[in-house]
């Protein structure tokens, strides 16, 4: 297996930069997510990987084989990659087996080899029993699994997935997440997965490239993005939490309870260091900062509290029990992460 290299890749449409100088080194067999809000350039990047768009700058290579740079463009059919689209893109006049086998047929493969490949691809997505059915007889999740099998039938080096769960309801999304996770575990394929849903990316990917306005914000594991986001914007985009402006600390520093509480007790609107405090690092008890409960929302296993500190700074906390809105509480901050200030 070979790694996928993206070096300084950019894409321009006229005077507009859709992607700016993006660099990623994707390991063989890695599950990578491109994550960001609508219009951030993640789908454009995926289309450049697929060969549907030419690069305006930089280079893309799989192992030692150049896929694209400013003077060279390998067409999609020569890249040995598969793609799963948001819209399934199944042919309604073909049954499941014929849909899956179509890419193999285009390569001139027939007979027993053709049937074996189709059977193995359907087995990977656990749809062997549905081979003779038409797409119209399947659920949305089953159709997406057919699209995945069709992508896998040619044994691609890289699988590209463009918001594959966007058209599914919440129940089917959870089921398909498990399908993708199981597929990746069983095949060891390299996956590049585009999504705007941070919970999808966090639960599936080995590493995540977070993009904003065409640029890479941070490239890290899900745990690092949650615990150590680089910027104030990213801290708000990934997970829940509160950003306090404190009169001390430096970007990249972890603040333990004593220092964090000391700085927080000094804050009176004059702070300048943004510090992320996640809800699990706010403990309600007999000691701490004075706070008022502004909202209490039941989330199933816990209540999510929106607090307001004495200096009017908002703070999010969790509680195992309901606390009436308007109540006065004490909040102890047990850990903070110092962020880079947004430009």
Q: What is the pLDDT of residues 84-96, one digit of tens each?
A: 877 778 889 999 9
What gap in Å lies between CA 98 and CA 91, rounded to an integer? Answer: 9
Whether 244 contacts 336, CB under 8 Å: yes
Whether 4 contacts 80, CB under 8 Å: no
What would the two tokens of residue 257 be?
């309870």
212, 232, 252 — which closes off a domain?
Answer: 232
Q: 48 with 158, same domain? A: yes
232, 251, 281 — which closes off a domain?
Answer: 232
Q: With respect to residue 59, please indicate whether it lies within any of the assigned structural domains.
A: yes
CATH code of the domain in which 327 resides:
2.40.50.140
The conformation of residue 266, written as its DSSP 8-state character, comes to H
Q: Does residue 220 surpass a pLDDT of 60?
A: yes
Q: Which residues pair with 331 in a beta bridge?
A: 284, 289
Q: 215 with 278, same domain? A: no
204, 232, 260 — which closes off a domain?
Answer: 232
Q: What is the pLDDT of residues 116-160, one digit of tens each?
A: 989 988 987 888 999 999 999 998 888 888 888 888 888 788 989
Burial (CB count <10 Å: 0-12, 13-18, 19+), residue 257: middle
Q: 266 with 317, same domain? A: yes
Residue 172 structural domain: 4-232
Q: Does residue 269 surpass a pLDDT of 60?
A: no
- Phi-psi group of 87: left, alpha or beta (phi > 0 → left; psi -120 to 50 → alpha; rest → beta): alpha
Give every CB contact of residue 93 below 8 A, 6+ residues apart in sequence.
Answer: none
Distance of CA 157 to the CA centre of its chain: 21
Q: What is the pLDDT of residues 221-254, one digit of tens each?
A: 999 999 999 999 999 999 999 999 999 999 999 9
Residue 32 host element (H or E): strand 31-35
């Amino acid at each position: 297996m070979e790694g996928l290299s993206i070096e300084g890749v950019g894409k321009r449409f006229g005077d507009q930069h859709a992607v700016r100088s993006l660099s990623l080194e994707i390991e063989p067999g890695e599950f990578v997510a491109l994550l960001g809000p609508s219009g951030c350039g993640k789908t454009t990047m995926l289309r450049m990987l697929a060969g549907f768009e030419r690069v305006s700058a930089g280079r893309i290579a799989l192992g030692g084989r150049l896929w694209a740079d400013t003077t060279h463009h390998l067409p999609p059919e020569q890249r040995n990659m598969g793609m799963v689209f948001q819209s399934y893109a199944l042919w309604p006049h073909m049954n499941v087996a014929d849909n899956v086998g179509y890419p193999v047929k285009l390569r001139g493969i027939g007979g027993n080899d053709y049937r074996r490949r189709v059977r193995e691809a359907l087995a990977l997505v656990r749809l062997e029993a549905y081979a003779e059915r038409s797409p119209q007889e399947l659920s949305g999740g089953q159709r997406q699994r057919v699209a995945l099998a069709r992508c896998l039938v040619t044994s691609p080096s890289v699988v590209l997935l463009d918001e594959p769960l966007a058209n599914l309801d919440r129940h089917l999304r959870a089921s398909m997440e498990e399908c993708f996770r199981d597929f990746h575990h069983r095949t060891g394929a390299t996956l590049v997965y585009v999504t705007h849903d941070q919970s999808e990316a966090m639960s599936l990917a080995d590493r995540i490239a977070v993009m904003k306005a065409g640029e890479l914000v941070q490239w890290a594991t899900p745990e690092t993005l949650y615990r150590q986001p680089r910027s104030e914007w990213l801290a708000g985009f990934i997970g829940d939490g509160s950003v306090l402006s404190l009169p001390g600390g430096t970007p990249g520093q972890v603040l333990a309870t004593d220092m964090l509480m000391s700085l927080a007790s000094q804050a009176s609107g004059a702070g300048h260091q943004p510090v992320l405090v996640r809800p699990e690092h706010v403990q309600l008890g007999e000691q701490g900062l004075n706070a008022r409960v502004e909202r209490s929302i039941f989330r199933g296993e816990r209540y999510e509290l929106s607090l307001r500190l004495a200096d009017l700074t908002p703070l999010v906390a969790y509680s195992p029990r309901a606390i009436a809105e308007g109540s006065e509480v004490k909040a102890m901050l047990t850990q903070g992460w110092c962020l880079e200030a947004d430009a």
